[in-house]
Amino acid sequence: MNTSEALIGLNLIGGLGSVRLSRLLEYFAAPGDIFKVSSEKLTLMGLPARCAQAIASFKAAELETEISSAAKLGLKIITLFDQDYPKNLKNISGAPIVLYCMGSLEKEDISSVAIVGSRRASLYGLNSAFKFAAQLAQSGITVVSGLARGIDTYAHRGALKAGGRTLAVLGSGFNRLYPPENRSLAEEVSRHGAVLSEFPLDTEPQRQNFPRRNRLISGLSLGVLVAEAAKNSGALITADFALEQGREVFALPGKIDSFTSTGTNALIQQGAKLVTSCEDILEELFFPLERIKGDSATSAPVQENLLFDKSQAKLYHCIGENAVSIDELVEKTEFSPAQISGLLLGLRLAKRIKELPGKYFVRN
């Protein structure tokens, strides 16, 4: 049994959890050595008797079944010691030892923002989640959420609509994907990001699993935006985890007489950053802009500027000392007005252009 197999096997032990497992790994030279210890000794080391007995009686066939089932589903199983384990997540307390992944994790996912909120959201909340997710995605930010009904669903769809990346974190195993009506959404997310779970394949979507899921959502992100939440919403648990993990917490203000905004308004009273635009989030997090390499015709001026991508560079070269409108930029490029708005936002944050009255733009 190699290291990865041992970690996957230990993750199959019900009630063990990542914190207890992390403590065990401090005592043993290799994860596989844990299976060689008697249940009595494991109990003396502080494990509950049921967990200790489950480890001592673990059958290799259980591990083989889990690994082969994951392969049939097209899942990759990533362990804490693998190079492609998410960097943001690796730094949190109680980081999951194992992640089941449908899709792919990329280096750029380190620049991620979570959007969470109520399952029973208002039209205002749903539209806001969609809009913010789309604008973040257009700015090159990966959007993280929990695939739940309501705000989560609209956050994922907003990022996908903008052609960006998004990560979905499950509160169940992949064989019990919840909610079931979002299975097609999960498949779409996996083609433009990844669906993740720390739970073995057959884990039911039990209530106690979702706080564990929430700590992953915040752990994967540099900041968490609570789009809409009632006073006792699970989204507030995600905000609490974000604070513990040293992440930024943002909240959208809502009407004072709206039940579904009592939680977000309370967060703002407690010190969460009130946001009214995507720019508020980007400025707070100081997302690094990357140098882009152009072809011989454009490389010199492009490399003088810190830009997100070639699309942004192309738009930048259409803006000069004379003010231009969005309509004029649409004529000069093949971009839609929505795409241009997102690209202009990035250029403004980079201090490369400025906006004049009447929605005109010039180089800064």
pLDDT (tens digit per residue) in 318-336: 888 788 898 889 888 888 8
147-165 pLDDT, tens digit per residue, is: 999 999 999 999 999 999 9
What does the pLDDT read at residue 249? 95
- How many Å apart are CA 350 and CA 292, to the nearest integer? 13
Give residue 293's pLDDT band: very low, low, confident or very high (50, 70, 90): very low
Is 50 exceeded by the pLDDT of residue 278? yes
Q: Which 3 state secondary structure label does DSSP give 104?
A: coil
What does the pLDDT read at residue 298? 31
What does the pLDDT read at residue 147? 98
- How many Å apart are CA 160 and CA 110, to the nearest integer? 18
Q: Which 3 state secondary structure label does DSSP give 324?
A: strand
Is 50 exceeded by the pLDDT of residue 297? no
Give residue 307's pLDDT band: very low, low, confident or very high (50, 70, 90): very low
Is 70 exceeded by the pLDDT of residue 121? yes
Is 80 exceeded by the pLDDT of residue 180? yes
Is 50 exceeded by the pLDDT of residue 130? yes
Task: Quote the mean pLDDT of the chain.
Answer: 87
Mean pLDDT lowest among 121-135, 267-281, 293-307 = 293-307
| Sign of the CA dihedral with 327 first, then 329, 331, and 334 last | negative
Percentage of the chain surpassing pLDDT 90? 59
What does the pLDDT read at residue 168? 98
Which residue stretches of the chain are H helix? 3-11, 17-27, 39-44, 49-56, 60-72, 87-90, 123-138, 151-161, 183-191, 209-219, 234-244, 262-269, 278-285, 299-303, 310-316, 326-332, 337-349
What does the pLDDT read at residue 185? 98
Give residue 243's pLDDT band: very low, low, confident or very high (50, 70, 90): very high
Which range of 40-49, 55-64, 355-364 scores highest in mean pLDDT? It is 55-64
What does the pLDDT read at residue 94? 84
Give residue 286's pLDDT band: very low, low, confident or very high (50, 70, 90): low
What does the pLDDT read at residue 276? 92
Tokens of 326: 């969005």
Q: Report DSSP state, residue 287.
A: P
Structural domains of the chain, ranges and CATH numbers in brackets: 1-72 (no CATH), 103-285 (3.40.50.450), 299-363 (1.10.10.10)
Question: Closest Cα to residue 179, out of 205, 199, 157, 210?
Answer: 205
- How many Å apart are CA 231 and CA 354, to the nearest integer? 40
181-237 pLDDT, tens digit per residue, is: 999 999 999 999 999 999 999 999 999 999 999 999 999 999 999 999 988 888 999
Looking at residues 57-80, what average pLDDT do you find? Answer: 95
Is 70 exceeded by the pLDDT of residue 303? no
Predicted model pTM: 0.77
Task: Give the side-chain half-sphere CA count within 13 A for 296.
Answer: 0
Is 50 exceeded by the pLDDT of residue 125? yes
Radius of gyration of the chain, Cα coordinates, nearest whole angstrom: 23
Give residue 142's pLDDT band: very low, low, confident or very high (50, 70, 90): very high
Cβ atoms of 215 and 243 within 8 Å: the answer is no
